[in-house]
Chain A
Amino acid sequence: MAGVQLKDVEKVYPNGFKAIHGIDVKVIDGEFLVLVGPSGCGKSTLLRMVAGLETVSGGEIRIGDRVVNDLEPMERNIAMVFQNYALYPHMSCYDNMAYGLRNRGVPKAEIAARVAETARILELEGLLDRRPNLLSGGQRQRVAMGRAIVRKPAVFLFDEPLSNLDAKLRVQMRIEIKRLQADLNTTSIYVTHDQVEAMTLGHRLMVLNGGNMEQLGTPIELYERPATTFVAEFIGSPSMNLLDARVSDDGAVVKLPDGESWTRADGGGRHAGRTVTLGVRPEHFDITGGDDGEAHLHVALVEHLGADTLIHGHIGDDRNALTVRLQGVVTARMGDVLPLRVAAKHLHLFDPETGKRLD
């Protein structure tokens, strides 16, 4: 087992496109790191560089204490699970799992024992002599995982392994992956564009945007203190509301354009008078409080989810549209005006120019 360290890693594709702009991260031994970001942000590129499937244009990648920049994938002691599984269609599940071991010259008896053990963990015992085309999507996914596990590599790499499964199976496999990783305690890097998957799986998350690292931290850190508006919108569902606002001249309140305002926790005068982007998560609103000095929500649409109610509307004029998420069933109708309060600690301020968090 081993950690993975990236030092100022860059990738320029042969066509001149720069996909990765200097990424630094140290994945410690046994950690589960999730790379998350929208499609095309360079997640797969970064993962494939760690795997050795893409060349490294700049910087250094270490696995354990070896620099692996110029090593073949096989020599890096990693295993990868692909989005489309990439099982060998002409081989039985047994052979799919055994192939990598055979190529490494593992004795036959040990291969049989290891495959049997892996099949037991993944509940694949009855399927070993079937070919992949006779398996369901979930079973193929398990075989692909088995092919990785059976090798006992230093690092697991996953590239959106669940995105070809239906929603229910995805949740099930997600839990299974998390359990497996905890049991095996193998360093893992996991790529996904799904923030729920990222939040639930990762010890730490790296949010990528256009080949740059936006933020690196635990799921809770990212949720509670997003470093940029990009992260703020990306993590959490529904997304954080971002409103144009201004901090009052004494710093005590944030004012919305039409004069309504929310009180800040520690006025303290910081950013007084400054134009900001104000971020509030839908679930942090409260409509029960009094009426004084708070903003008002004009309800446009109500969605009942059972456990929660989503209310879409706007404050004052149409510019500041927002979504509110309230627990339980809330009866509200289009055209209602609701008093809207936010606890001061749930107000996030961002620089409107750079999108960076203001503290």
Chain B
Amino acid sequence: MVENRPYLNVISHLIIIICIGIVMLPVWITFVASTHPIEALLTQPIPMWPGDRLFENYALVLTAGIADAGGVPVGVMMINSLIMALSITIGKIAISLIAAYAIVYFRFPFRMTCFWIIFMTLMLPVEVRILPTFKVVADLGMLNSYAGLSIPLIASATATFLFRQFFLTVPEELAEAARIDGAGPLKFFIDILMPLSRTNIAALFVILFIYGWNQYLWPLLITTEESFYTVVMGIQRMVNVSESLPVWHLVMATTILAMLPPVIVVVTMQRLFVKGLIETEK
């Protein structure tokens, strides 16, 4: 970084460009495919430049859906995905903030036991506990509902752990100053701790939103009604149509649409994320 040798500069840029190319090429091909009629994709060579069907293809997927794959409009699936991802993200952040606050700032019996139990669940991802979880959700009558889609995924040991580590770095005197200033536990949490955690919350929001958005197995298991399909599982159903060839141009359009919300979240949150970094720096 400090060095200022022109050939190093050229080489590092070359490497960056190659890497970007590797990452972007599939995305580009997907986008190009989504702008052509299906015939163009079934003949060699596959097109490398956008075609003329951009608006038709996207309008079709968004509003009408694909007849062979149940005909659920992608718009509906995206809204389902959004509701699920946001519920998971906000729920996870809220619960882990509160849990970490309790563990760090309150002396209650079996505090460390609680912490270690939470910590141990880190080792149990959704897939491992999927059958018992399914049974519980089914017994509670939460199949085919937004609650069923999001609640079982909300508890998060990772986020709790991260917030705990952050709270431990907040100087004790800050809590004491707040006590002297007449802030009770709740006021301290809301007025001091939450604003200080902004950066961490932003970072976690990005990670957890993408995690929630990309959930595949769980929605697949617990939704049988089309009105609750999420976009990620929708794509899978489009590819697996039985009687006809996959409508690749529409599948690709859906894929592009499915990628958009995570991209938007990353881009907008990144700004807040960096801003937070600069401002809370001591």
Binding site for B on A (CB under 8 A): 51-53, 72-74, 78-80, 82-84, 86-90, 99-100, 103-104, 131, 133, 147
Tell me which of B173, B192, B195 has the highest count of chain A C-beta atoms within 10 A of its own C-beta.
B173
Query: Is there a chain A Cβ closer than 8 Å to B280's Cβ?
Result: yes
Residue from the list A52, A72, A82, A131 in contact with B177, Cβ < 8 A: A82
Query: Is there a chain A Cβ closer than 8 Å to B265's Cβ?
Result: no
Let me know if A86 and B179 touch, CB within 8 A: no
Q: Smallest CB–CB gap between B121 and chain A, Å? A: 30
Q: Smallest CB–CB gap between A104 and chain B, Å? A: 6
Q: Return the chain A residue nearest B278 by Cβ.
A: A133
Query: Is there a chain A Cβ closer than 8 Å to B129's Cβ?
Result: no
Given contacts A86-B171, A100-B182, A103-B182, contact A80 B177 (CB under 8 A): yes
A89 to B276, CA, bound (A): 12
Residue from the list B177, B195, B198, B281 in contact with A86, Cβ < 8 A: B177
12 new A-B contacts, CB < 8 A, other than A53-B179, A74-B181, A99-B191, are A53-B180, A72-B179, A74-B180, A80-B180, A82-B173, A84-B171, A88-B192, A89-B280, A90-B279, A90-B280, A103-B187, A133-B280
A99 to B188, CA, bound (A): 11
Let me know if B183 and A82 touch, CB within 8 A: no
Q: Return the chain A residue nearest B187 by Cβ.
A: A103
B158-208 CB contacts (< 8 Å) to partner A: 171, 173-174, 176-183, 187, 191-192, 195-196, 198
Let me know if B181 and A82 touch, CB within 8 A: no
Binding site for A on B (CB under 8 A): 171, 173-174, 176-183, 187, 191-192, 195-196, 198, 279-282
Q: Smallest CB–CB gap between A170 and chain B, Å? A: 20
Residue from the list B174, B176, B180, B182 in contact with A88, Cβ < 8 A: B174
Given contacts A82-B173, A88-B174, contact A73 B179 (CB under 8 A): yes
Let me know if B180 and A133 touch, CB within 8 A: no
Q: Smallest CB–CB gap between A52 and chain B, Å? A: 8
A84 to B178, CA, bound (A): 14
A33 to B43, CA, bound (A): 92
Q: Return the chain A residue nearest B280 by Cβ.
A: A89
Identify 29 residue pairs between A and B in the complex whose beta-carbon atoms are under 8 Å apart, listed by A's number: A51-B176, A51-B180, A52-B179, A52-B180, A53-B179, A72-B179, A73-B176, A79-B180, A80-B176, A84-B171, A86-B171, A86-B173, A86-B174, A86-B177, A87-B177, A88-B174, A88-B192, A90-B192, A90-B196, A90-B279, A99-B181, A100-B181, A103-B182, A103-B183, A104-B182, A131-B279, A133-B281, A133-B282, A147-B181
- Chain A residues with Cβ under 8 A from B183's Cβ? 99, 103
A133 to B181, CA, bound (A): 20
A212 to B122, CA, bound (A): 49
Residue from the list A78, A83, A89, A131 in contact with B180, Cβ < 8 A: A78
- Chain B residues with Cβ under 8 A from A83's Cβ? 173
A79 to B281, CA, bound (A): 26
Q: Return the chain A residue nearest B191 by Cβ.
A: A99
Tell me which of A72, A87, A89, A103 has the highest count of chain B C-beta atoms within 10 A of its own C-beta.
A89
A85 to B183, CA, bound (A): 17
- Chain A residues with Cβ under 8 A from B178's Cβ? 88, 99
Complex A-B, nearest 3 residue pairs according to Cβ-Cβ distance, in ascending order: A100-B181, A86-B173, A103-B182
Let me know if A90 and B173 touch, CB within 8 A: no
- Chain B residues with Cβ under 8 A from A74's Cβ? 179-182
Let me know if B171 and A90 touch, CB within 8 A: no
- Chain B residues with Cβ under 8 A from A79's Cβ? 180
Q: Smallest CB–CB gap between B125 and chain A, Å? A: 34
- Chain B residues with Cβ under 8 A from A72's Cβ? 179
- Chain B residues with Cβ under 8 A from A147's Cβ? 177, 181
Q: Return the chain A residue nearest B195 by Cβ.
A: A90
A104 to B182, CA, bound (A): 7
Q: Smallest CB–CB gap between B273 and chain A, Å? A: 15
A219 to B121, CA, bound (A): 61
Let me know if A73 and B282 touch, CB within 8 A: no
- Chain A residues with Cβ under 8 A from B191's Cβ? 99
A82 to B187, CA, bound (A): 21
A42 to B127, CA, bound (A): 54
- Chain B residues with Cβ under 8 A from A86's Cβ? 171, 173-174, 176-177
Tell me which of B174, B195, B280 has the highest count of chain A C-beta atoms within 10 A of its own C-beta.
B174
Q: Smallest CB–CB gap between A78 and chain B, Å? A: 7
- Chain B residues with Cβ under 8 A from A90's Cβ? 192, 195-196, 198, 279-280
A108 to B279, CA, bound (A): 27
A80 to B180, CA, bound (A): 8
- Chain A residues with Cβ under 8 A from B192's Cβ? 88, 90
A104 to B181, CA, bound (A): 8
A84 to B174, CA, bound (A): 10
A228 to B192, CA, bound (A): 46
A20 to B191, CA, bound (A): 34
Let me know if A73 and B187 touch, CB within 8 A: no
Q: Return the chain A residue nearest B179 by Cβ.
A: A73
